């Protein structure tokens, strides 16, 4: 759906009204996953493997079943054996079948009348394990002879002779690398590693499942996508989609981590077996051990540059591990690595490797931050070595309209040059630095997504409007959708209320992911509003006794189109709605679409740090985010996304990591030792929104949610490396690691 006009003057879009869910959230009224209850409800709890890798020889649940208060015990034997690899992996991750593949992998579950009984019952379940050798490191897992996590999962594109843990290979790029490198005055080759990090959402996963005796079920859960939850759970329960209704709760953070299921099929199976509603709420320990962090990575980068800063060739070898199951995140890393640059010769090679870690889930721009960290670190080092200004070098090489991207497509209107120019003009870039301080910058990129979307817009007889859409609101989307409906209808924002529907109330909506909601649901809302407007114009035409084509919609009212249509005073939305019963009944607009044209998004982050030379502690002093939003519908939320991405990136760069012991067990399954930044760790994060309209959206909107987590890793690594005079190539740059680098420098 193309851009209406690049010069549109917005009335409501671009303003900053209060968020509709804000009051309930700050007063504690909002209902999250764990707030749902039902009469006769049981408490479900899950028994998890203490071993990183073990064959499950037998599970004896008889003692647990005999305990008073226990109503159901399930294992993988209570779930069907599924044909499809994709969905079987998700189910096997929810409940291990045959082998426990990581520390924390679910092996059995109980439903009991209270939590204490459920806990006691778990202790009565006897699992006979045969402990197997394990591997948790991506490089170790790739070596021939490494313990094999799962057999028979290797795709045909992986050459023979590699470890069976290598499941897939991908390759992207164009041009001739040898001749590209031959043109370079300077070539730098470096290896990098990044740790697995968790999304760190505040709300643990929670759900309530209720099966009826005639085979229908309801599921309430905290999710980013109720429709996808239905698809997965219906197949795992062997039921038709229509028989399972899934309702999403308010969500206390997701960042991609709630785009799949972990406890929902378990609660459904327990409810079916017990005949009672069953609630499962994860502990924080379970969230860290058994949900989906992002991939860990190991990468080799080689880039050549002329002495005036033109990149002549770029090559990346990326090795990602998303835990014990195959995944395709490596492909996004391979495509994103060099996306910011207009290159004649570029090639990325990617490998996915299995390890005895939890199954990866999406985390904001999955796969991109680590690859771009490595590439942008080498670009920065080339700038240092050649004595070049890092912003000028990026401008010189920046992708723009017409650039054949490193992953194939040719870019349409994109905002990278505009963001780089905004960074160049910003006072931050030229502010003086003190001793032990460094400044770093990085470009970031994300593809963005559209997808399946279905919206209903209902005009109420009192002149208000309800929008029903199918995507949980993780970033203020209800406000943004209301703003776009109000803009289109020509009524105040306060007259529109947006609701997130359950799976029975709308057609299929893709998950809230890919930064798709403000773009795709917005697009469908605008179309639905236009359908309602056509309907209202027809009602006015009927009242006035003129042709429908002779009525147009101006500023929230039907008006005769030109002098020939007749002279009638405008009829407002409220006036038309009030008499709708006499003109043909209720007024509504609908739109269904599988949206494309999402429009890629670029950002640039600029950061100053100071490193304590005696302890290796890094303080982030100043941070500025520049990003192309296409059109910022609700600028507060756009800024919030930009700031939030920067904050999560600061954590990833400096302290966050999954730490495994030699026994393959996770050492830091809690917020004490898994260190997300706290408020006092952060400087104010300044934001600069650029608006280069997306040609694929009527208002020019681009998704903004994921791009902001892409640049921080490299921006901070570049700042730290410049502050300490040592190139840092492993994340996190925790104080012990940084002090070691400082001491080895001498």
Partner 1 sequence: MRYIAAKTADEAAGLLVDEPGLARILAGGTDLLVQLKSGLVEPDLVVDIKNIPGIRDVTPENGGFRIGAAVSAAELGEHKGVLALWPGVVEGVELIGSTQVQGRATMVGNLCNGSPAGDAVPGLVAANATVRITGPGGSRDCPVLDIPAGPGKTTLAKGEIITSVFLPARPENASDAYLRFIPRTEMDIGVASAGVSLELAADGAISAARVALGAVAPKVLLVADAATAIVGSKLEDGALAALAKACEAACNPIDDKRGTIEFRTRTAGVLARRAALIAYQRAGGSK
Considering only 675, 683, 686, 726, the residue that binds partner 1 (CB under 8 A) is 675
Sign of CA dihedral 266, 270, 276, 280: negative
Compose the 112-141 pattern: x for residues touching partner 1 by CB under 8 A, - for all others: -------x----------------------
CA angle (593 as vertex; 592, 597 as ends), nearest 5: 150
Contact residues for 435 (Cβ-Cβ < 8 A; gap 6+): none
For residue 726, state whether it binds partner 1 (rule: CB under 8 A): no
| Of the residues 26, 68, 160, 678, which one makes contact with partner 1 according to CB under 8 A | 678
Alpha-carbon distance 19 to 483, whole Å? 11
Q: Are 165 and 145 contacting, i.e. CB atoms less than 8 angstroms apart?
A: no
In the complex, the smallest distance separating the C-beta of residue 616 from partner 1, rounded to whole angstroms, is 7
Calpha distance 15→291 (Å, rounded): 37
Does residue 734 bind partner 1 (CB under 8 A)?
A: yes
Residue 735 binds partner 1, judged by CB under 8 A: yes
Q: Nearer Cβ to partner 1, position 119 or 400?
A: 119
Binding residue (CB under 8 A) for partner 1 from 461, 668, 726, 730: 668
In the complex, what is the shortest distance from the CB of residue 648 to partner 1, in angstroms, rounded to a whole number?
A: 15
- Rounded Cα distance between 732 and 106, Å, is 29
**Distance (Å, whole) CA 503 – CA 239:** 15
Q: Which stretch binds partner 1 (CB under 8 A): 203-211, 364-372, 395-403, 728-736?
A: 728-736
Residue pair 587/531 in contact by the 8 Å Cβ criterion: no
Query: By CB under 8 A, which span of 161-169, 217-225, 558-566, 668-676 interacts with partner 1?
Result: 668-676
The stretch near partner 1 (CB under 8 A) out of 157-165, 198-206, 292-300, 669-677 is: 669-677
Helix, strand, coil share (%) of the chain residues, nearest 5: 30, 25, 45
Per the structure block, which two tokens stand in for 23? 């009051």
d(CA 325, CA 85): 10
Dig out the tokens for 394 from the structure: 């990026």
Please tell me whether residue 436 binds partner 1 under the rule CB under 8 A.
no
Instruction: Check binding of 108 to partner 1 (CB under 8 A).
Output: no
**Among 434, 563, 743, 746, contact with partner 1 (rule: CB under 8 A):** 743
Q: How far is the CB of 75 from partner 1 (least distance, A)?
A: 22
The dihedrals phi and psi of 720, each to the nearest 5 degrees, come to -65, -45
CB of 116 to partner 1, least distance (A): 10
Question: Can residue 680 be called a binding residue for partner 1 (CB under 8 A)?
Answer: yes
CA-to-CA distance for 626 and 643, rounded, in angstroms? 10
Handedness of CA 531, 533, 539, 541 (dihedral sign): negative
DSSP category for residue 681: G
Closest CA to 131 of 92, 152, 103, 94: 103
Residue with smaller CB distance to partner 1, 214 or 614: 614
CB of 164 to partner 1, least distance (A): 30
Nearer to partner 1 among residue 534 and residue 740 (C-beta): 740
654 binds partner 1 (CB under 8 A): yes
Specify whether the backbone of 463 is left (phi greater than 0), alpha (psi in -120 to 50) or beta: left
- Structure-token match 């409501």, residue found: 12
Q: Which segments of 612-679 are extended strands (E)? A: 618-628
CB of 725 to partner 1, least distance (A): 18
Q: How far is the CB of 303 from partner 1 (least distance, A)?
A: 32
736 binds partner 1 (CB under 8 A): yes
Integer CA distances (angstroms), 614 to 377, 610, 675, in order: 24, 12, 21
Residue selected from 400, 534, 740, 745 as contacting partner 1 according to rule CB under 8 A? 740
Stretch that binds partner 1, among 19-27, 401-409, 632-640, 737-745 (CB under 8 A): 737-745
The C-alpha angle with vertex 677 and arms to 673 and 682, in degrees rounded to 5, equals: 155
Cβ neighbourhood burial of 701 (10 Å; 0-12, 13-18, 19+):
buried
Query: Is residue 663 near partner 1 by the rule CB under 8 A?
Result: no
Query: Please, which of residues 374-433 interact with partner 1 by CB under 8 A?
Result: none
Exactly one of 659, 686, 695, 726 binds partner 1 (CB under 8 A); that residue is 659
Q: Which stretch binds partner 1 (CB under 8 A): 15-23, 473-481, 633-641, 731-739?
A: 731-739
Task: Identify the CA nearest to 4 among candidates 522, 416, 450, 590.
Answer: 522
Which of 677, 693, 703, 705 contacts partner 1 by CB under 8 A? 677
The tokens describing 681, both together, are 């760790």
Bridge-partner residues for 128, per DSSP?
A: 58
Nearer to partner 1, 592 or 681 (CB): 681
> Which one of 11-19, 206-214, 235-243, 733-741 is the stretch in contact with partner 1 (CB under 8 A)?
733-741
Stretch that binds partner 1, among 465-473, 508-516, 589-597, 653-661 (CB under 8 A): 653-661
Residue 679 Cβ vs partner 1, minimum distance, rounded to whole Å = 9
Between residue 693 and residue 722, which ones bind partner 1 under the rule CB under 8 A? none
Residue 429 in 3-state DSSP? helix
Binding mask 608-637 toward partner 1 (x if CB under 8 A, else -) reads ------xxxx--------------------
605, 711 Cβ separation under 8 angstroms: yes
Tokens 């090795």 appear where? Answer: 319
Q: How far is the CB of 615 from partner 1 (least distance, A)?
A: 5
Instruction: Give 355's contacts (C-beta < 8 A, 6+ positions apart).
Output: 135, 136, 137, 138, 141, 149, 165, 296, 321, 323, 324
Say whether the peptide bond before residue 732 is cis (omega within 30 degrees of 0): yes
Judged by CB under 8 A, does residue 44 bind partner 1? no
Nearer to partner 1, 26 or 672 (CB): 672
Q: Number of residues in contact with partner 1, rule: CB under 8 A?
A: 25
Which x/- pattern over 274-313 shows residues binding partner 1 (rule: CB under 8 A)?
---------x-x----------------------------
Given the rule CB under 8 A, which residues bind partner 1? 119, 283, 285, 614-617, 654-655, 659, 667-668, 672-673, 675, 677-678, 680-681, 734-736, 739-740, 743
């Amino acid at each position: 759906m193309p851009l209406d006009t690049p010069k549109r003057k917005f009335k409501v879009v671009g303003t900053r009204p209060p968020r509709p869910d804000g009051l309930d959230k700050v007063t504690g009224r909002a209902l999250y996953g764990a707030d749902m209850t039902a009469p006769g409800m049981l408490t479900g709890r899950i028994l998890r493997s203490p071993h990183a890798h073990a064959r499950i020889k037998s599970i004896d649940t008889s003692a647990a079943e005999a305990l008073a208060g226990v109503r159901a015990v399930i294992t993988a034997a209570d779930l069907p054996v599924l044909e499809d690899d994709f969905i079987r992996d998700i189910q096997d991750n929810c409940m291990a079948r045959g082998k426990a593949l990581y520390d924390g992998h679910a092996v059995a579950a109980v439903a009991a009348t209270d939590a204490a009984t459920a806990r006691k019952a778990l202790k009565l379940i006897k699992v006979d394990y045969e402990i197997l050798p394990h591997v948790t490191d991506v490089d170790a897992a790739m070596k021939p002879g490494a313990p094999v996590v799962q057999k028979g999962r290797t795709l045909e594109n992986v050459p023979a002779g590699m470890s069976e843990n290598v499941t897939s290979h991908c390759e992207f790029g164009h041009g001739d690398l040898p001749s590209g490198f031959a043109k370079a005055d300077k070539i730098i080759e470096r290896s990098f590693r990044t740790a697995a990090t968790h999304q760190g959402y505040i709300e643990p996963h929670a759900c309530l499942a209720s099966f009826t005796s005639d085979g229908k079920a309801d599921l309430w859960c905290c999710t980013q996508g109720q429709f996808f939850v239905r698809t997965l759970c219906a197949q795992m329960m062997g039921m038709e989609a229509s028989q399972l209704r899934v309702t999403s709760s308010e969500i206390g953070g997701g960042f991609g981590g709630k785009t799949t299921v972990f406890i929902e099929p378990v609660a459904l199976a327990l409810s079916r077996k017990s005949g009672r509603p069953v609630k499962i709420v994860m502990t924080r320990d379970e969230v860290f051990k058994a949900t989906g962090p992002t991939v860990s990575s190991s990468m080799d980068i080689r880039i050549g540059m002329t002495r005036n800063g033109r990149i002549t060739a770029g090559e990346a070898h990326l090795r990602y591990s998303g835990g014990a199951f195959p995944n395709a995140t490596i492909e996004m890393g391979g495509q994103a690595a060099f996306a910011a640059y207009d290159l004649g010769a570029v090639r990325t090679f990617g490998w996915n490797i299995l390890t005895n870690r939890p199954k990866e889930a999406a985390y904001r721009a999955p796969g991109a931050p680590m690859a771009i960290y490595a590439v942008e670190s080498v670009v920065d080092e080339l700038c240092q070595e050649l004595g070049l200004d890092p912003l000028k070098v990026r401008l010189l090489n920046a992708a723009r309209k017409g650039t054949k991207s490193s992953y194939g497509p040719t870019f349409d209107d994109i905002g990278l040059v505009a963001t780089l120019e905004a960074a160049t003009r910003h006072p931050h870039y030229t502010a003086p630095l003190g001793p032990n301080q460094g400044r770093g910058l990085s470009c970031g990129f994300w593809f963005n997504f559209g997808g399946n979307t279905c919206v209903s817009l209902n005009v109420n007889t009192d002149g208000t409007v309800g929008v029903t859409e199918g995507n949980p609101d993780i970033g203020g989307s209800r406000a943004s959708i209301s703003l776009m409906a109000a803009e289109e209808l020509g009524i105040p924002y306060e007259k529109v209320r947006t609701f997130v529907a359950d799976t029975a109330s709308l057609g299929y909506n893709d998950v809230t992911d890919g930064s798709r909601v403000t773009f795709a649901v917005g697009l469908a809302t605008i179309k639905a509003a236009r359908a309602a407007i056509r309907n209202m114009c027809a009602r006015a035409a009927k009242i006035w006794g003129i042709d429908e084509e002779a009525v147009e919609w101006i500023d929230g009212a039907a008006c005769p189109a030109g002098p020939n249509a007749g002279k009638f005073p405008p009829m407002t939305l409220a006036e038309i709605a009030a008499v709708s019963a006499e003109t043909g009944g209720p007024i509504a607009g609908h739109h269904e679409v599988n949206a494309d044209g999402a429009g890629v998004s670029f950002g640039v982050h600029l950061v100053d740090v100071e490193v304590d030379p005696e302890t290796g502690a890094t303080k982030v002093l100043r941070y500025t985010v520049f990003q192309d939003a296409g059109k910022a519908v609700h600028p507060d939320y756009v800024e919030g996304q930009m700031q939030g991405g920067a904050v999560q990136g600061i954590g990833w760069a400096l302290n966050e990591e999954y730490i495994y012991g030699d026994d393959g067990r996770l050492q830091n399954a809690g917020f004490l030792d898994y260190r997300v930044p706290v408020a006092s760790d952060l400087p104010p994060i300044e934001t600069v929104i650029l608006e280069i309209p997306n040609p694929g959206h009527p208002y020019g909107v681009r998704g903004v949610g994921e791009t902001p987590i892409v640049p921080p890793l490299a921006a901070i690594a570049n700042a730290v490396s410049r502050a300490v005079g040592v190139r840092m190539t492993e994340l996190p740059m925790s104080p012990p690691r940084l002090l070691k680098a400082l001491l080895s420098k001498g």
